[in-house]
Every structure is written in C-alpha cells, then in structure tokens.
Structure 1
Amino acid sequence: MSDGLPRPVHEVLRFYLERMNEQQNGLLQGFYLYGSIALGDYYAHCSDIDFVAITEKRLNDSQYAIVISVHKEVEKRFPKSRMGGIYISWDDLGKLHTDIEPFPYYSDGRMKQAGYFELNLVTWYELKHHGIRLIGPAVEELGLTIDSKLFIQNMHINLNTYWMRWIHRATSKRHPSSLLVWLLGSRMEWGVLGITRLWYTFREHRVTSKVGAGEYALKRVPERWHLILQEAIRIRQGGGVSHYRSRKRRKADAIAYMQYMMQECNAMFS
C-alpha cells in the first residue's frame, strides 16, 4: 500500500485488497490508481477512487461474484467510498473499445458485467504519467504508449459533443440540468473546471487536475472570468463562503465562461 495516499483512501483500499486476497489470493495481479488521487487533487466529499484492476484473464462467473461481494462489503463499511474502476486482463492494457470486448467495471455503487467504462486515452495517459501502483509491476514497466495526436483529437471531439450538449442543456429552461446548475454548486464546478481542463490540455499537451487547471486559467484569462473560477475552485476544495450573493448571476457567469472556453478551444483548431 502506498504511504502517500490520503487517509480515507488508504483505509478503503486496505480493506478492499485484504478482502480480495481472502476471497481469492492472487486474483488481482495489478492494481493502479489514476484520476484525482494520482493528480494530487483528491477531496473526500467529491472525488472518486479511480482504479484499474488487472487479472490474468477476464473474470469468470465465480470471480465476478467474488468481486461483487467484496464491493458490497466495502460499500457497507465505507458508504461514501466512491470507488470506480475497470477489471481487465494484461492483454487489454492500453487498448481502446475498438480493440477489445466489453469488460466488467464498477461505478456508482454497482458492478456491471460488460461495458467500456472509462476506456479512453485520458485514462491511459493519466496511468502512464501519474499512475500509482498498489499491486503489480511499476507503472514505468507497463509499456503504455499514447498516440499524442489521437489524444488531442479525441479531446477535441469530446469538447464539441459532450461539453456542447452540457452547455445546451444547462441553458435550456425545459431541461433538468438548467435547474441543477442553478441549485448545485457541484454541478456548476463540474462544468467550469471540466472544460478548463480541456483548454489546459490543448495549450500544454498535458493533463492536470481540475483545481490545477483553474489556477492555471486564473493567470491567463481576462479578469472578467476570475470570480467564477475562484468560486469553482472554492467548491471543489470544499470550503469557504461563496463569492456570489446571487445563484442566478453565478449560473450566468458559469455558462458565459464555458461558452468563452468553447470559442477559445476551437480557435486553436481553426
């Protein structure tokens, strides 16, 4: 177990790995963390424990049942553990959905037997450059390769599909997302810092955390956008008094900022 993990994460994963070994010793041949923990941006109230679990072969029915039972135990002992990850074989490592069959994964407190959860170049990039090993060979020995051109292309597609739809729904009076962005600071923070991470990557060709991207933007975007960025960072870090007296203005600033980011990002590909 890595000594540098946040205490809540350490406790959850120690229990999880102990129970996995008790159920079937050696089933997990590799276990790696990526995402907010690996990027040094973990906050217990909102961050997930993102993982890649590797087995010799794809889970059979009895092994799948073991994994389900262990996750249920984890959820019972740590109701807010927020684990989410994929169960793949060594042969699957580094591949995309076009290259392999659907695989088991765990997300939002549920185990799914087949899907492509989080199978993308961002996952492999974060694992290659920031991953934390708990079981298995060192990250450097995994031999992960990233097609940097495809990496940027895929993120640009994500900008003009997922994030474009996100903004459209948040501005549509008939869509529930519009109300949620007004009501929930966490939803607003997701949008503001999420799209800012893409902008950072397009500029620097690297990946950073949400807070890291927000702090980066504060030094580079017009002052007009500083307040909404500071608000998003405050919410992400889970403390302090809001910089806004009006949720209506906060939502308006968030949407306007995200539309500004869309334009800035797409201008790089003109």
Structure 2
Amino acid sequence: MIKTAHANNSNSVPKQVKEVLNAYFEKIEKKLPNKVESFYLFGSVSIGAYQEESSDIDFYAVTKEKLTQSDVEVLKEIHHEMRKQFSKPSLDGMYLTRDDLEFENNGNSSCPYFNEGKLQSYRPFHRNWIDAYQLQTYGIVVKGLPIETYNLSIDWTELKSNLIENINGYWLNWVKNCERFPSLQYIGLYTSANMNEWGVLGVTRLYYSLREKDITSKVGAGEYALRTVPETYHQIIREALRIRNGNKFSHYGSMRKRRSDALSYMKYIIRECNNL
C-alpha cells in the first residue's frame, strides 16, 4: 500500500486516490523499474479539498535521470492504461529531474506533462509559480526523498508577477471571449453552470493568493471572497459555491442575470488583482 508523509501535511490521502496510485506504481515498477526517484502530490489532495467527481491527482515525479524518448513512449502506455482502468480521477502531472527542480529555469529544459491519460505537452518547471509553491508548502511525499531535500526557494515578488500575468493573459482573454458574439464561451456562460463556477472561482483563487501569499481551494477562495468583496457580488459567489458543492437549487431565476453578474464580478476581481 502507498504510504504518505510530509511535515507540513495533516490531511490523509483519500482512499480513491490511494487505489489509483497503487495501480500506477505497480505499472511503473513493472515497465520502468528504478526510474522514479521521488513522487509528490500537491493540489486539492494536499490541501484537503479533494472532490471525487471533479478533482484530479496533481503530481510531480522526479526521475533519477533525464527520460529518453523510449521512456516517454512507455509512460504513454502506462497513462493510457491508467485512464482505461480509472476514468476518474485523472493523473495530472509532470516528470522532471532534480536539476529541473533546483535550478532557475531558463526555458531550455522541458519535461513531459500528462493529463487525462495522454502526453499533453512538454513544458519547463517554473520554480516561481503557484504549483511549485504548493509543492514546497503542502506537498505530500508518496515515494522517495523529503521535499526539503531539494532547493525550492520561492521568490514571491516574481511569483506575484506571474500571477498577474496569468490574470491579464488567460483570464482577461477568457472574459473577453465570453463577451464576444458569437463564440462558444458567449453561449456557454449562458447555459453552463460549470463555466460560471470555473470563471468565478478561478479568478477568486488568484485574488486570494495575491492578497494572502498563500493558496486555498476554490471553495476556500469563494468563502474568503464573501468576507472581503462588496456585498453586490455575493449572490454570484454563492452561486459558484453552490455549483462547486453540487447543490441543485440555484440562487438565480435568470441565466441572463447570472451571466451578467459573473462577467461583472470577474472584471472586478481582475481590476482588484492589478491594484494589489
């Protein structure tokens, strides 16, 4: 059975996650023995916010040496098999070396990133990004060395700059797409409860991190916003929390009003983030 331990962690790993990890390591040890030095969980599992129907298993796997193309092909097989065996939760993570973790990334090093049973891309590990902060602060050791073994010092000034870049890049463009007619996002924000939840709580998590220099779950961010933003936005925040928590009864009688409130709130949070 998988055992976990980290000095900063007080949350037990959910049974469903353990089952997936046990199957995963059985395949790794059979097909790529002695390749993975350490394996860490971060994200919702590590902060006690895991939800069976919606959360992924976020991980970093540290390999003993740089993976060859042949190794990556085997990983493709493993993740494909895992997806067939467990449709949910999905293994969402990156394979990297100690050097990738410890040295300031200059953009030249790229690591295989897997999600939903597929190799999605090759990407660099960014030390001054929120995932690295989660790993350092809340990460759970599933296999291998204590996280403290690696030099993962975080520069919050640079991390803040990266969060602002995300707000003014991905999220601002997402809002603009929701306003542009005709677009899938324009229609989706009318008809999809999940799109409303994704947008409202997505920007709110960044708002929390920028203000508190920490991370929290989407639910935690929404509850934080109810304590810190003007009351005029509370209805849409409660609606997003309602959707996230799987409650059936909407706070809105009009999809048009919900869409309008979501856009107004997201624009407000984007402005606030830029003023922090």
Q: Which interval holds the TM-score relative to the shorter structure?
A: over 0.9
Q: 2:7 corresponds to which residue?
A: none
Q: Which runs of 5+ in 2 are unaligned?
A: 5-11
- Is 2:54 the partner of 1:46? yes
Q: 2:112 aligns with which of 100, 104, 111?
A: 104
Q: 1:72 corresponds to which residue?
A: 80
CA displacement at 1:106 relative to structure 2? 0.6
Code of the residue aligned with 2:146 in structure 1: it is A
Alignment of 1:25-174 (within 5 A): 25-95=33-103, 98-112=106-120, 114-116=122-124, 121-174=129-182
- Is 2:227 the partner of 1:215? no
Residue deviations 1:226-263, cap 9 Å, x none? 11111111222223422222222111111111111122
Three-state SS of the structure 2 residue aligned to 1:58 is: coil
Count of residues in Structure 1 that have an aligned counterpart in Structure 2: 268
Distance 2:102 2:185 in 1: 34
Q: 1:241 corresponds to which residue?
A: 249
Distance 1:41 1:252 in 2: 29
Code of the residue aligned with 2:129 in structure 1: it is L
Q: 1:191 corresponds to which residue?
A: 199
CA displacement at 1:215 relative to structure 2? 0.6
124-133 or 184-193: bigger deviation: 184-193
Distance 1:194 1:243 in 2: 19
Residue deviations 1:59-84, cap 9 Å, x none? 11332222112112111111122211
Distance 1:119 1:189 in 2: 28
Code of the residue aligned with 2:66 in structure 1: it is R
> Could you tell me whether the CA contact under 8 Å between 1:200 and 1:207 is conserved in 2?
yes
- Is 2:16 the partner of 1:8? yes
> Could you tell me whether the CA contact under 8 Å between 1:188 and 1:254 is conserved in 2?
yes
Three-state SS of the structure 1 residue aligned to 2:61 is: strand
> Could you tell me whether the CA contact under 8 Å between 1:105 and 1:117 is conserved in 2?
no
Three-state SS of the structure 2 residue aligned to 1:93 is: helix
CA displacement at 1:99 relative to structure 2? 4.3
**TM-score normalised over the length of structure 1:** 0.92
CA gap 1:112/1:226 in 2 versus in 1, 3 angstroms: closer
Three-state SS of the structure 2 residue aligned to 1:50 is: strand
> Could you tell me whether the CA contact under 8 Å between 2:105 and 2:126 is conserved in 1?
no
**TM-score normalised over the length of structure 2:** 0.90
Code of the residue aligned with 2:46 in structure 1: it is A
Distance 2:224 2:160 in 1: 19
CA gap 1:36/1:160 in 2 versus in 1, 3 angstroms: same
Q: 2:272 corresponds to which residue?
A: 264
CA displacement at 1:39 relative to structure 2? 2.0
CA gap 1:159/1:169 in 2 versus in 1, 3 angstroms: same
- Is 2:204 the partner of 1:175? no
Distance 2:194 2:236 in 1: 13
Q: Which runs of 5+ in 1 are unaligned?
A: none
